Amino acid sequence: MKKQTVLLLAAVAMLLLFAGGAWWYQNWQAEKASALARENSPTLVPDHAITLGPASARVTIVEFFDPACETCAVFHKHVHDLMAADPQRIRLVLRYAPFHQGSRAVVKILEAARRQDKYWETLELLFASQNHWASHHKAKAELVWPLLSQVGVDVERLRADTNDPALSALVRQDLLDAAKLGIRKTPGFLVNGKPLTSFGLPQLQQLVQSEIDARY
């Protein structure tokens, strides 16, 4: 055998080993995530979580997100499109996984805005202005405050509400549940308790569609 052949065969063998290992690991992780979601299904939709869509919907998307996460901003639009296509059958439950530095303060602003019935407007504003207040993986809540008047919230009241320990407790609970469910990246989706194990829009659409087909 020629040396070139040996080298080439060794390289191909190692790459195959890598690909096979990756395939095996991902399957193993997907199985683990499904098992974790089954075990922890009662923690998926707590009373404190904000929801969108009819309560009678038989397909529930639980999304763990971080307002400072760029992919979350992109997927926020995708999820809206998904729901708009089938408004009676899909319900969205938003949970927090503020993994970015400084993100928890922004989540508290969002939850305080919810007390003034401005949750969705504030969320849109946060995502639209994300590259202003969240850059280089650091969220700066102080840059969010001047923007809030745009959505018509009472900023003084909001500021007082963000100091409520109940909001810290809410964020802690969501982070705890995210850890239990093995969510390490955002956005993390579970549809009717089934985790989205391979991330991507087509995969999410497929998972939602399969749940719609199963329940309707």
Dihedral sign of CA atoms 29, 104, 143, 127 in order: positive
DSSP three-state, residue 151: helix
Pick from 12, 20, 26, 201: which binds other proteins (CB under 8 A)?
26
Tell me the two tokens of residue 127: 């995502």
Q: Distance (Å, rounded) from C-alpha 170 to C-alpha 161?
A: 13
17 sits near other proteins (criterion: CB under 8 A): yes
Quick check: 3 binds other proteins (CB under 8 A)?
Answer: yes
- Quick one: which of 78, 159, 180, 184 contacts other proteins (CB under 8 A)? 184
The nearer residue to other proteins, 199 or 216, going by C-beta atoms, is 199
Q: Does 28 bind other proteins (CB under 8 A)?
A: no
Distance CA 126, CA 152 (A): 14
Query: Residue 139: phi, psi to the nearest 5?
Result: -90, 135
- Between 22 and 214, whose beta carbon lies closer to other proteins? 22
Residue 6 contacts other proteins per CB under 8 A: yes
Q: Exactly one of 9, 12, 20, 21 binds other proteins (CB under 8 A); which one?
A: 21
Among 200, 207, 173, 139, CA closest to 40: 173
| Strands, sheet with 50-52, edge to edge from the N-terminal-most edge strand | 50-52, 90-96, 59-65, 188-191, 194-195
For other proteins, the binding residue among 9, 12, 20, 22 (CB under 8 A) is: 22
Given 185, 198, 201, 215, the residue binding other proteins (CB under 8 A): 185
Minimum distance between the CB of residue 138 and other proteins, rounded to whole angstroms? 9
d(CA 181, CA 172): 14
Q: For binding to other proteins (CB under 8 A), which residues are involved?
A: 2-4, 6-7, 10-11, 14-15, 17-18, 21-22, 25-26, 101, 137, 184-185
